[in-house]
Amino acid sequence: MSSLILAFFTSFIVTVLIIRTQKLHESLSGDLDLSGPQKFHSQIVPRVGGIGIALALTVGILFHASDTFASNQEWLLLVSAIPVFFVGITEDISKKVSVRMRLAFTAIGALILILLLDANINRLDVMGIDHLIAMPVISILFTVFAITGLANAYNIIDGFNGLSSMVGMITLVGLGYMGIQMNDSLITFLSFTMISAILGFFIWNYPRGLIFLGDGGAYLIGFWVAAITVLIVSRHPEISPWFAVMINAYPILETLFTIYRRKFHQGKSPGHPDGIHFHSLIFRRVLNPTQINNEMEWFNANAKTSPYLWVLSTLAVIPAILFWRSTAILLGFLVIFTVSYIWLYKSIVNFKTPKWLNL
């Protein structure tokens, strides 16, 4: 418990210091572009919130009183996250790191995780495919792809105050709960330590938006969630591999739909930014910012956007932790979730927003 408290206060204090000294470093740390398609703030804000979270994880693990074996595993996960955080924070400061480079460093982190912790995806409970994915090379490549994709997904959904960070905490609560169910102290500790680290940042990010996660924070959270997800399924064969998909269904689906929309519908590069993510549509169409007349109303619309997606994420996490044993049931819920997501997206795009969304 002391390590969780230390993680929270480390993140909280470091984040405060970054905010209070903004004038000294905003030329490097600030989000200076206020006009991009995914920009919904009206003044320069530090985008290095990941620093507090990274330091909090380090302090939390350092002070965690556990057996030597578990401690070694915690440090190994932290080591594997270094290249992920490094490339993200470098982008936050330089604003010049390409998406391809960020993905490459994240893939390196995923490979380190697999080699150090022997954690990989080697089954999908699908006849015919399991024989293929059980092959070591295929398994490693697939695991690297999955972890890299989910880490990037958290960066994609990081569009509004509190969105990516709260989705991470909701998912980590589910993973931590599963760690308790499986009597797996490593999974439980890793989940709740990250929750503590995120919470120290979240207090300053939502609703006021005094600091942003940045790529360093978003990639770190996504990588951490992906790593724990792979670890728990790998360590406990009784858990369906589709639990991993269902508990992360919202960021995964948002990423896949973004790739489809950009590549096949718009004919653009999947790495090209746009302003029609699900969260962007909630902001523009459901909360109707075209009718906003002052900065305070704009601020309120920003703050009201994220809870819509928090609920959506929760609707995926709940069936995942209730039916973690059953591949068939999880696949059924995944289909329902996917169909519902696409239906809602198309309804909002076509100006047919369901009345119950207009709260």
Range of lowest pLDDT (5-9, 299-303, 316-320, 322-326): 299-303
Closest CA to 197 of 62, 57, 86: 57
pLDDT tens, position by position, 152-200: 999 999 988 999 999 999 999 999 999 999 999 999 999 999 999 999 9
Residue 332, pLDDT > 70, answer: yes
Q: What pLDDT is attached to residue 76?
A: 92
Closest CA to 162 of 206, 201, 194: 206
Q: What is the enclosing helix (H) or strand (E) of 45?
A: strand 45-46
- Residues above pLDDT 90, as percent of the chain: 65
pTM of the model: 0.92
Within 10 Å of residue 260's Cβ, how many Cβ atoms? 12
The domain in which residue 216 lies consists of 2-357
Q: What pLDDT is attached to residue 26?
A: 77
Overall number of domains in the chain: 1
Query: Mean of the per-residue pLDDT values for the chain?
Result: 88
Per the model's pLDDT, the better-predicted residue between 24 and 188 turns out to be 188
Query: What pLDDT band is residue 210 in, cutting at 50, 70 and 90?
Result: very high
Task: Report how far apart, in Å, the C-alpha atoms of 345 and of each of 268, 270, 285, 302 are.
Answer: 20, 19, 11, 19
